[in-house]
Amino acid sequence: MEALRLHLKQSSANYKREEIVENKMTYPLPPFSTVIGALHNICDFKEYMPMDISIQGDYHSLCKEAYIDHCFLNTTQDDRGILIKMYNQANLSKGYQRVAYAQKPTGNSFRNGITVMVENEALIKEYRDLKNLNDQISEFKKGPYKDCLDKIKQRKKTLALKKKNIDSQEPKYKKIVNREKEISEFEKNLKHKLKILQEENYDIPIKKFRTLTTSLKHYEILSDIELIIHVKSERSTLDLILENIHKLRSLGRSEDFVELIQASIVQLVDKVDREYKSKYHAYLDAELIDNDNEDIIINEKRNGISAQGTKYYLNKNYRFEDDKKTKRIFEKKKVYYTSNYWVDTESTGVYIDKSGEEPLIVNFL
């Protein structure tokens, strides 16, 4: 059987585990979805091209790398964090200006200048002016505006009572109806003008001000990584990947650069003719090494117990939940991350790659 074999190296990488929030832990090898996504990206595929992947490899060490996590709060807090102004309030990015920062955990106030360090006098004045304007709008709503609406409400109530005592065919009845329409239109315009006034002068400008909090977190970083990836798909798809493989710049994070050692179409043997032992760690189909299937893939035994490895449920490809394409539903693969395994003439579900200096066991998922 034909397959595409990729031999890659990376000086460092983080293959982020998606269920981790606080500190970014890594898988020991890239998940299937990471590899498939990278191959689709370099070929500019617009839809999913069916393919199965075999991933094996090793890394030298794992360490932690510190980074500053930036968190934009949903609301602007006057007493904590860092007050910033976004260049574009619709995009949460590094496109912002620092305005001031709180000097204590609590008891600060950007508006009142209590234990804050101002970094931009013009912007802190703009922020405070907006807050003052909001107070004025609130006072206006509670005072003259509310009084006006109350009078309108009372007037509409009075006209409604008058209508009850007049025949609907009389001219006076029509005058009352027209007056009700005029009052309703005036009330509608009054509310609309206040809404526009508040949106243009406060709601929209204040959205550019956000509270930013920072915290020290860590990446788990693998170093000195070697990967052997086999891809099984239609020959036309493999040819396109091979043609564009020079575009593969990274795997994992954007800064996790890739060195391409080799890329070629190889022939795999589907009949295991003798015993072969693994050279690398690998993701293996869990069904092939579960206890009741020990005659398919054999693992090294420790203290008389088969050492299956670490179990993962890895993403492969996805579909959208509905036509809106807002939520992805991933196909999960149950695998073991393991090493020191071997196959023999009774093993099934695996292939042997004899194209290199040393034969490799290939298990597609």
- Can you give the three-state secondary structure of the chain, one letter per residue? CEEEEEEEEEEEECCECCCCCCCECECCCCCHHHHHHHHHHHHCCCCCCCCEEEEEEECCEEEEEEEEEEEECCCCCCCCCEEEEECCCCCCCCCEEEEEEECCCCCCECCCCECEEECCHHHHHHHHHHHHHHHHHHHHHHHHHHHHHHHHHHHHHHHHHHHHCCCCCCHHHHHHHHHHHHHHHHHHHHHHHHHHHHHHHHHHHHCCEEEEEEEEEEEEEEEEEEEEEEEECCHHHHHHHHHHHHHCCECCCCCCECEEEEEEEEEEECCCCCCEECCCEEEEEHHHHCHHHCCCCEECEECCEECCCEEEEEEEEEEECCCCCCCEEEEEEEEEEECCEEECCCCCCCEEECCCCCCEEECCC
Q: Which pLDDT value is given to residue 169?
A: 84
Looking up tokens 């036309």 gives: 236
147, two tokens: 């009084």
Mean pLDDT of 94-123: 92
Q: Which pLDDT value is given to residue 19?
A: 75
**Over 60: is that where the pLDDT of 21 sits?**
yes
Single-letter amino acid, residue 358: E
**Over 70: is that where the pLDDT of 303 sits?**
no
Q: Which pLDDT value is given to residue 295?
A: 54
Lowest mean pLDDT across 49-63, 118-132, 325-339: 325-339
Q: Where are the domains of the chain?
A: 2-66+217-362, 70-212
- The residue ranking higher by pLDDT, 173 or 38, is 38
Residue of 119, 113, 72, 112 whose CA lies nearest to 94: 72
Mean pLDDT of 312-329: 82
pLDDT in tens, 239-297: 999 999 999 999 999 999 999 999 999 999 988 889 999 999 999 998 887 755 555 66
**Are the C-beta atoms of 78 and 110 separated by less than 8 Å?**
yes
Top CATH class, 2-66+217-362: alpha beta
> pTM for the full model?
0.72
Lowest mean pLDDT across 213-217, 231-235, 245-249: 213-217
